[in-house]
Amino acid sequence: MIDVLRATKAVSSILRMDHLPGPAEPLLWLPDAVCGAMTRARTGEPAFAKTIESRLTIIPIGY
Name the average pLDDT for the chain.
87
The vertex-58 CA angle with 55 and 61, nearest 5°, equals: 165
Confidence of residue 49 (pLDDT cuts 50, 70, 90): very high
The pLDDT score that the predictor gives to residue 63 is 62
- Mean pLDDT confidence for 34-55: 94
The conformation of residue 13, written as its DSSP 8-state character, comes to T
Contact 48, 40 (CB under 8 A): yes
In this model, does residue 20 exceed pLDDT 90? Answer: no
Contact 34, 52 (CB under 8 A): yes
pTM of the full predicted structure? 0.58
Phi and psi at 33, nearest 5°, equal: -65, -40
The pLDDT score that the predictor gives to residue 17 is 77
Contact 37, 52 (CB under 8 A): yes
